[in-house]
Amino acid sequence: MSVDLDKLFIYPKHWVDEDARSFSTTIRQWADKEIISDRLNYQQNYTLLFPEKCRKLGIDIGLKRLVLSEKYDGYGWNSPSYAPAILTAFTEIGRGDASIGLANALDYAIFATITMHPNIKDDLCDALAPLYLSDKLKTSTAILPGAGINDRKTPLFRGMSVLAGIAADDNEYVVSGENLRPFGFGKASDLLCVVCAQSSGKICLAFVPADISGVKKGLPIKQTGLDASENTDISFESVRIPKEYIISRDGAVEELYVWLNLLLGGVSIGAAMNFFEILTEWAQSRTIKGGIPMKENPLCASVLATVAQEITCARLLCYSLSQIMADPLALRGIGGESIYTIARMIGSSVQDSALNALNRGMELMGSAGYAREWHVEKHWRDIKTVQSSLCGVAADIPVKMDIARFFYDCKEVCS
């Protein structure tokens, strides 16, 4: 039986306009046709099929154009008011494949820092938009603050170490840093958005095309999930970038986090929704105690209920975040303290819920949930990978410190 996900996991549809809904329907069709009905093949041939599936979504359907203004041949969703719409789209992508979700979330979040009203950075858009929209599929990744290394005092972004440095030299900037871990897709990415620290300690974003001299990519990293995202550590040996390739306005790094929390929230919820579809079918057809349908057993039903509850609440929370983002001026912009804190708080809670939905639901599926062929374990690994990566370091402590600072006006904790 196929379930009508939007009737079950309701969301405030009036926050998403007709065009955006029909765009999301197209993505759902893409996910059904390109991924869900072809999962095994896709899973066994990521190297070949990932670029192909991404191209269909990004170029044929036009996902990549969303974040760009009409001036660059984009669809002009470059205003925060589109946050609910873009969340809807990313939920559909996540339902298909979280790796594709992450690739696009990174693209969108990174470009949002330069294309989004009211902070459009024309010079950088002029330089990067044509590259990004070229026929050859381009991907980008972010290098965010994270764990520091003992005995090395580093500049901090809200307690997390910023290991990349940047310094002005004539008309250029020079980026340096060793073995830095990207959020994902380190191997394939063409554009690196690096959170860097200037010698003054000021934190900024540097846009580094990956083919510039001095950018060194390491060996592939084997990781828990997001199998299509081949990651690797990246070093910058005195990499020179044009002056306009950095953003040093206040709140830019925060914005990146806000968008990533929203979009990856959507991706994980989408993955959990696809798990819900699989679980529903399982619980309807599987019998226990010698013949009772699993879903009619009260103990199993209560676990099934937890799964649905986690997904529903997480989805609603994410939409609340998107709606808050949609009217940022009241809250001092997307990179402002208030939206940043709410995004981190909701982002962390949504990932927890999505993972809990998987963890609990898998209890009912016995070995099937653990076998590759059922595709449940894939969603479980993918969501966990997103969750840990989004933490950065120290589990949810950095988020808790952000919250504590905001709500209790803490001055000194881990800043």
Partner 1 sequence: MKHFDDFSRPLEYISPMDKHLRTVIRKWADEEVLPFRRRFDEDWKEHKLIEPAFDKLMGNKGLGLQKALFPEELGGWGLGHSDSTFMTSYALSEEVGRADTGMAVAFLVTLWPLTTILIEPHVNWRLAKEFAPMFCNSDCAVFSALTMTEPQGGADIENIGLLGGKTLRTTARLDGDEWVINGHKLWPTNSAGVSKLFGVPCTTKLGSSDLDDFAIIFVPTDTKGVSEGNPYEKAGMAADKNSDIWFEDVRVPSWYRAHGPVLDAQTFVEVIPWGQVASCGFLTGAMLNLYERLYEFVSTRTYCNRTLKENDAVAGVIGRIAGDIDICRILGHEAARIGDRRNMPFGNELGSEETIAKIRNIKDFISDKSVEIFGRAMDVLGAYGPDREWDIEKHWRDVKIIQLWMGGKQLCQMEAARYFFNCKTL
Ligand X SMILES: Cc1cc2nc3c(=O)[nH]c(=O)nc-3n(C[C@H](O)[C@H](O)[C@H](O)COP(=O)(O)OP(=O)(O)OC[C@H]3O[C@@H](n4cnc5c(N)ncnc54)[C@H](O)[C@@H]3O)c2cc1C
Which residues of the shown chain bind partner 1 in the complex (CB under 8 A)? 144, 146-150, 152-154, 156, 159-161, 181, 183, 221-226, 286-290, 299-300, 303, 355, 359, 362-367, 369-373, 377, 380-381, 384-385, 387-389, 391-398, 400-401, 414-415
Least Å from the CB of residue 126 to partner 1:
32
| 19 is an interface residue for ligand X by CB under 6 A | no
Q: Backbone phi, then psi, for 133, in 5-degree steps? A: -95, 10
- Least gap, CB of 5 to partner 1 (angstroms): 25
Q: Is 281 in the site for ligand X (CB under 6 A)?
A: no
Q: How far apart are CA 190 and CA 29, in angstroms?
A: 28
Q: Which does 224 bind (CB under 5 to 8 A by kind): partner 1, ligand X, none?
A: partner 1
Q: Which is nearer to partner 1, 280 or 389 (CB)?
A: 389
When the beta carbons of 238 and 370 are compared against partner 1, the nearer one is 370
Which of 250, 370, 395, 415 is the binder for ligand X (CB under 6 A)?
370
115/231 with CB nearer partner 1: 231
- Answer for which of 2, 200, 213, 367 binds ligand X (CB under 6 A) is 367
- Asked if 98 and 386 touch (Cβ cutoff 8 Å), the reply is yes
**295 binding ligand X? (CB under 6 A):** no
Nearest approach, Cβ of residue 57 and partner 1 (Å): 24
Among 154, 297, 309, 320, binds ligand X (CB under 6 A): 297
User: In angstroms, what is the minimal distance from the CB of 293 to ligand X?
Assistant: 11
By CB under 6 A, the count of residues binding ligand X is 13
CB 137 within 8 A of CB 59: yes
Task: Please confirm whether the linkage preceding 328 is cis (ω < 30° from 0).
Answer: no
The entry of partner 1, ligand X, none that residue 150 binds, CB within 5 to 8 Å by partner kind? partner 1
User: Which one of partner 1, ligand X, none is in contact with 320 (Cβ closer than 5 to 8 A by kind)?
Assistant: none
Compare residues 212 and 368 and give the one whose CB is closer to partner 1.
368
Tokens of 387: 């969750």
Give the residue carrying structure tokens 């965010």: 144
Task: Rule CB under 6 A: say whether 364 interacts with ligand X.
Answer: yes
Q: Which long-range contacts (CB under 8 A, 24 or more apart) does 199-203 make?
A: 199/165, 199/167, 201/155, 202/248, 203/155, 203/157, 203/162, 203/253
21 contact choice in partner 1, ligand X, none (CB below 5 to 8 Å, kind-dependent): none
Q: How far apart are CA 23 and CA 112, in angstroms?
A: 19
Q: Which residue, 29 or 302, is less far from partner 1 as judged by CB?
A: 302
In the chain, the amino acid numbered 235 is S
Residue 292 makes contact with ligand X by CB under 6 A: no
Q: Which residue has the tokens 């970038």?
A: 241
CB proximity list for 92: less than 8 A, separation 6 or greater: 24, 27, 28, 31, 270
Distances (CA, A) of 214 to 117, 138, 258: 33, 20, 30
Q: Does 300 bind ligand X (CB under 6 A)?
A: yes
C-alpha 217/C-alpha 236 separation (Å) is: 9
Among 127, 288, 394, 414, binds ligand X (CB under 6 A): 288
Stretch that binds ligand X, among 108-116, 163-171, 181-189, 288-296 (CB under 6 A): 288-296
Instruction: Please name the helix (run of DSSP H) or strand (run of DSSP E) that holds residue 180, with its range, or none.
Output: strand 172-180
Q: What's the rounded Cα separation, in Å, for the pair 328 and 325?
A: 5
> Which whole-number Å values give the CA distances from 117 to 15, 80, 334, in the listed order?
19, 7, 10
Per the structure block, which two tokens stand in for 44? 């066994």
Short-list 395, 377, 390, 389, CA closest to 271: 377
In the complex, which residues of this chain contact ligand X (CB under 6 A)? 286, 288-289, 294, 297, 299-300, 363-364, 366-368, 370
